Amino acid sequence: MSTPSRFDRGHTDDLMSFLAASPSPYHAVANAAARLEKAGFQQVRETDAWDASVGGKYVLRGGAIIAWFVPEGASAHTPFRIVGAHTDSPNLRVKPLPDTGAFGWRQVAVEVYGGTLLNTWLDRDLGLAGRLTLRDGSHRLVNVDRALLRVPQLAIHLDRSANDGLKLDRQKHLQPIWGLGDVAEGDLIRFLEQEEGLAEGEVTGWDLMVHSIERPSYLGRDNELVAGPRMDNLISVHAGTAALAAASTAAGLPFIPVLAAFDHEENGSQADTGADGPLLGTVLERSVFARGGSYEDKARAFAGTVCLSSDTGHAIHPNYAERHDPTHHPRANGGPILKVNVNQRYATDGSGRAVFAAACERAGVPWQHFVSNNAMPCGTTIGPITAARHGIQTVDIGVAILSMHSARELCGADDPHMLANALRAFLES
Ligand SMILES: [Zn+2]
């Protein structure tokens, strides 16, 4: 039994299902879209003409989703309130010629995606998931969610120095095995075609990655923590989706609430589905023009717009306290964090702090400050990119976790729902 919580564990249970069902960015946006459809949102295609109708809409492009709700009475210059996040996580991704192996082992050739904690992928049972492109150009999501692959660590007997600082060669040491047998060209893709009941040769393109098949779980004496994969940053995607769905039921919205979840944050956001691409600006602009707006209306709308860019940050680590700032100590279950960096690795300024503090106050949610130790490099996220690219006031916030970029991360069990409540309050007022 878990101790009673001020916050809704139903939200956390749903997050855990979302994490397990979203082994790739393509799955994450499909699952976000399914939740929004339930709340009455409808997909609009970028290749279609858009209209001025009210209601919930969303655009899907690869591993990115932009969703927004046009309330009754919205004008062409009504400003937006945006929750920003990213759908991708560091992992191992399949190379163009995947079939490799040696000495009777079948292996899959992989590249390292993003700033992965490499050792966390060793000796885990791994599945394979992603997106297949078929001969007719259509896409199909694939998820082999069973123990299919493993990156076996070298035995201690063969490397007595392993515990003195493990060195992993990104090319040589990370190629997973997936069974025994001769290496045959086309083997992996044929296997996936069979899994999916597709004819041989039907798959002509793929974007595939490995994932740990271990389920997310509550953890700790009182189940006050959650362990799971891809918390960075599916916690924010999930919370933003819940917040937007909830905000769409509010009466008299003074803004157009938006969820913008991008792909490719972990390698710099420079992609057509990344925050450094035109996707968000194009969608917002088209929404203004569809309501009969002019360039002037767009400029007015953007000038009144605020974005809360939500991503994970570092909770204070009890074994490495000296790596953190000496006085700013974000804690698990202490509520969402406001991320500040005066050199604009985070976009937050004092006026943004006030927006975030007001949202948390309205939601009845405690919140915390995050700032890096001056001697440590500071991470960054989509916040500064969104601010600079679109000229939109942006505030960097998030949830404090441990083990960031591990194959299995750790957060407080109450923080995800506190984040969702704060995001909802921000979108609604
Ligand atoms: Zn992140």
CA of 316 to the centre of ligand 1 (A): 17
What number is the average pLDDT over the span 406-414? 98
What number is the average pLDDT over the span 299-308? 98
CA of 251 to the centre of ligand 1 (A): 33
CA of 296 to the centre of ligand 1 (A): 34
Q: Is residue 322 over pLDDT 80?
A: yes
User: Tokens at residue 147, please?
Assistant: 């123990």
Q: Is residue 354 over pLDDT 50?
A: yes
User: Percent of the chain scored above 90 by pLDDT?
Assistant: 96
3-state secondary structure at position 164: helix
Quick one: DSSP state of residue 263?
S
CA of 87 to the centre of ligand 1 (A): 8
What number is the average pLDDT over the span 319-336? 95
Q: Packing angle between helix 25-38 and helix 231-247, nearest 10 degrees?
A: 20
CA of 398 to the centre of ligand 1 (A): 9
CA of 140 to the centre of ligand 1 (A): 26
Q: Where are the beta strands (DSSP E) in 256-364?
A: 256-262, 306-314, 337-339
What number is the average pLDDT over the span 24-35? 98
User: Tokens at residue 254, please?
Assistant: 């003074």
* Nearest partner of 288 among 306, 280, 393, judged by Cα: 280
β-strand partners of 206? 132
CA of 406 to the centre of ligand 1 (A): 12
CA of 86 to the centre of ligand 1 (A): 7
Q: Is residue 5 over pLDDT 90?
A: no
* Nearest partner of 54 among 71, 38, 37, 78, judged by Cα: 71
What number is the average pLDDT over the span 159-165? 94
CA of 233 to the centre of ligand 1 (A): 5
CA of 301 to the centre of ligand 1 (A): 28
User: Percent of the chain scored above 70 by pLDDT?
Assistant: 98
pLDDT reported for residue 325: 92
Q: How confident is the model over 57-104, as pLDDT tens digits? A: 999 999 999 999 999 999 999 999 999 999 999 999 999 999 999 999
Residue 8 pLDDT level (bands cut at 50, 70, 90): confident
Q: Is residue 2 over pLDDT 60?
A: no
The overall average pLDDT reported for the chain is: 96
CA of 274 to the centre of ligand 1 (A): 13
CA of 288 to the centre of ligand 1 (A): 30
CA of 421 to the centre of ligand 1 (A): 20
> How far is the C-alpha of 262 from the C-alpha of 278, rounded, in Å?
11
CA of 381 to the centre of ligand 1 (A): 7
CA of 260 to the centre of ligand 1 (A): 14
CA of 168 to the centre of ligand 1 (A): 23
Residue 6 pLDDT level (bands cut at 50, 70, 90): low
CA of 207 to the centre of ligand 1 (A): 20
CA of 121 to the centre of ligand 1 (A): 18
pLDDT reported for residue 4: 45
pLDDT reported for residue 7: 65
CA of 391 to the centre of ligand 1 (A): 22
CA of 2 to the centre of ligand 1 (A): 29
CA of 404 to the centre of ligand 1 (A): 8
Q: Is residue 176 over pLDDT 60?
A: yes
Q: How confident is the model over 109-153, as pLDDT tens digits? A: 999 999 999 999 999 999 999 999 999 999 999 999 999 999 999
CA of 382 to the centre of ligand 1 (A): 9
pLDDT reported for residue 429: 86
Higher-pLDDT residue of 30 and 387 is: 30
SS3 string, 295-316, reads: HHHHHHHHHCCEEEEEEEEECC
CA of 383 to the centre of ligand 1 (A): 11
CA of 380 to the centre of ligand 1 (A): 8
Full-model pTM? 0.97
CA of 285 to the centre of ligand 1 (A): 26
Backbone angles phi, psi at 170, to 5 degrees: -65, -25
Residue 317 pLDDT level (bands cut at 50, 70, 90): very high
- Count CB atoms within 10 A of the CB of residue 89: 27
CA of 85 to the centre of ligand 1 (A): 8
CA of 394 to the centre of ligand 1 (A): 16
CA of 409 to the centre of ligand 1 (A): 12
